[in-house]
Structure 1
């Protein structure tokens, strides 16, 4: 039964007990006696409407009714406690997931999987509508990506979902910006402060993976308005909390007030995105049709992740051009799976419109070549699974996630173009024994590709062993909601 139903039933039980106690005070008053008996009768009728609550429910209800009829107050109180405990334990919590981009569903997926198999939950996925913005920050295109979600995820049309009346117990989101995003924006009814009106717990899980010491602590409204912001490391919790003065300025509040609120919201429970990466090691992922015959074992298949951050830093596409050129002239040894950030084109339109034509031309030329494929799939995991190594900017969450595959990660330096470093073979070999993450500052893309080509075992990697964050997050939030339900009853 839903929580609101359970509250109604518990109130009926309490009203009956109160009426029985009142009856002892007005035994000689026929008017009051009739009133009290009617209250008991009406509330008992409500309790009897839950015919599908199970055999134990029926047994306790019958026992409770007998105690009432015999005016056994003490016996009724004892049965009422058992009855209310059963009602509380029978609650099924409505848990709604509201992603806005299919490519970011991985930030919520393992939590949904945990909730979906949890008997305490009714899990629903409602992909929400958003708008792509033009260079003047005005809505240019209305988008809903519900058709792009995996087939195994049943989705609900947000235009048909009645949030205001359904009032779920828990809502999970991964879009924290409300009206502050410069590239895309969700509809106002899905702003975090508005969603909070219609649920018991609003939980924000970032769509990116935190990189210790690197990721930005910039303020995002949902971090404050959600009941919990799930982070993936103690560094993330600490640094976001230390950024309270910045948050307070954005909110027009005192720092101490924001600090006090944020310290209860920020929790380190791990990352569902890491769950997804680790799970790939034991899965067979289907290759996208357009990649068939192009991804070959006799070459080093490199996923090249082009991020928004590096383009905004360099204000140029020259590094990207030179990188793609390397693959063009070394196609006998290397093959590139080029994955521009899903919002890169829209970011250029909105923030650097002067680069849009150049970018479109670059994509067009690359698409006609035979030295790589462009990955526009909603999921990044095709690239992660089918590649032998990774090349990308260190602040990207994909860079951090790829480390969990155990395969080689080469951190890209956005403004620098390095072809040779005359590296020492032994030093690279020793470094890769200690870590699978190295920097372009020390080793060039060409050198790392050559090294992997000579050491085929590096292509396999070794997935990390971790606890499932989705299960941890689901259990934590369910415990919080359940405790509040019990406290309210008591």
Structure 2
């Protein structure tokens, strides 16, 4: 039964016990006795009507005994039986859990939590992809988008225009968009801002759509971190550094720093990363149709992850052009699966409009070439599964996640071009056997491709056995709900 129903039943039990106490105090008043009898009858009727929601025969047996004790005005027996009745009602609660992703490409930040909730008998899990807007260079809405059709087929989705949030009032809502009205590239509809969602649920949980990189990721304030009941982080470093940034958050909110620190200490929790769950569980991922005949295991397939950070830092596409030129010149041994950030062009239009034409030219040349494929799939997992190594900037969530495949990661230095690594092939091979993550300029893309081409075992990586974060998050939030219900 829904939590609201259980609360109604628990109130009925308490009201009946209160009525019995009143009856003992007003035995001489026929008017009050009649009123009390009516109140008890009405509440008992509700307990019977909702019996189907309690999946336990013991409930009906206890209810019969409870009715008998009430009819005999036996307060002692009624109080004793009510404790067991209330326990059964509480154990029968089903929590409505709604997931509100906005981009299909970021669904992996919530998917393993949804999978855990969907299997959990305590939950009714619903996925409602929410509408957002692409913004123009003046930060005005230019295009209205909903990506519900792009979610995996095994995920049943609900049209957000048909979902009545205000009346349904779910117990728990999960989101992965923390920006509310502050995003400069895309923006969700205002009814989905975190402070609005919080009005219609008991627990609002924000899980970042990016994988935190210890010592590197930004701690910039995002409004959902304040309005959500919990922000799930994937490391102790993330929790610590976000808490240490409380003066910045206090300034943004116009509140006292000590107040914000106390709030953040209670909201920020390290429960792992659903995105890692997804990466380590990848198996037999189907090759996209348009990649057939192109991605071949005989070559070294390189996932080239081009990020917003590196372009915003370098403010040029020089490194990108140099990298693509390498693959064009070495197509016999290497093949590139190029995945620019899904919001690359939109971000350029909004933030660096003078680079848009150059980006379009690079993209046009690449699409018409044969030395690589462009990955525009909503999910990055095709690239992750079918590639033999990753080349990308260290601040990127994708680059960080790729490390969990056990395959080789070469961290890109965005401003560094035309350099030559001084490491010998023997030293590189020994390093790669010990550590799957190396960086420029100590190692170059050409070095790493050559070594992997000669050592097939490096293509497969080392499997990691990790605790499932989705189950951990689901259980943690449900336990918090149960604890509060008991109190």
TM-score by length of 1: 0.98
For 1:174 and 1:383, locate their aligned partners in 2 and report how far apart those are by CA, in whole Å: 22
2:461 corresponds to which residue?
461
2:224 corresponds to which residue?
222
Q: Does 1:356 align with 2:356?
A: yes
For 1:441 and 1:255, locate their aligned partners in 2 and report how far apart those are by CA, in whole Å: 41
Q: Does 1:337 align with 2:332?
A: no
- Map of 1:129-148 to 2, 5 A cutoff? 129-148=131-150
Aligned-residue offset at 1:39? 0.9
1:155 corresponds to which residue?
157
For 2:243 and 2:419, locate their aligned partners in 1 and report how far apart those are by CA, in whole Å: 41
Match of 1:91 among 78, 90, 93: 93
CA contact (8 A) 1:419 1:446 kept: no
- Map of 1:17-416 to 2, 5 A cutoff? 17-53=17-53, 54=55, 55-280=57-282, 283-416=283-416
Consecutive unaligned residues of structure 2, counting only runs of 5 or more, are none
Deviations 1:307-328 (A, max 9, x none): 0000000111111111101100
Deviations 1:59-95 (A, max 9, x none): 2211110110111111000110111111110000000
2:474 corresponds to which residue?
474
Deviations 1:320-372 (A, max 9, x none): 11110110010001000000000111000111111111111111110111100
CA contact (8 A) 1:137 1:183 kept: yes
CA contact (8 A) 1:287 1:386 kept: yes
CA contact (8 A) 2:9 2:47 kept: yes
Deviations 1:33-57 (A, max 9, x none): 1111111111111112114134222
For 2:376 and 2:418, locate their aligned partners in 1 and report how far apart those are by CA, in whole Å: 27
For 2:451 and 2:422, locate their aligned partners in 1 and report how far apart those are by CA, in whole Å: 13
For 1:417 and 1:390, locate their aligned partners in 2 and report how far apart those are by CA, in whole Å: 18
Q: Does 1:447 align with 2:447?
A: yes
For 2:103 and 2:253, locate their aligned partners in 1 and report how far apart those are by CA, in whole Å: 27
For 1:86 and 1:15, locate their aligned partners in 2 and report how far apart those are by CA, in whole Å: 17
1:5 corresponds to which residue?
5
Deviations 1:264-290 (A, max 9, x none): 00000000000001001xx21100011
- The ranges of structure 1 where at least 4 consecutive aligned residues each deviate by more than 4 angstroms after the TM superposition are none
CA contact (8 A) 1:418 1:440 kept: no
CA contact (8 A) 2:301 2:337 kept: yes
CA contact (8 A) 1:304 1:390 kept: yes
What's the secondary structure of 2:98's corresponding residue? strand
Q: Number of residue pairs matched?
A: 485
Aligned-residue offset at 1:426? 2.9
Aligned-residue offset at 1:108? 0.1
- Greater mean alpha carbon deviation, residues 60-69 or residues 141-150: 60-69
CA contact (8 A) 2:425 2:447 kept: no
Aligned-residue offset at 1:425? 2.2
Consecutive unaligned residues of structure 1, counting only runs of 5 or more, are none
TM-score by length of 2: 0.99
CA contact (8 A) 2:419 2:441 kept: no
Aligned-residue offset at 1:17? 0.4
CA contact (8 A) 1:420 1:447 kept: no
1:426 corresponds to which residue?
426
For 2:464 and 2:249, locate their aligned partners in 1 and report how far apart those are by CA, in whole Å: 35
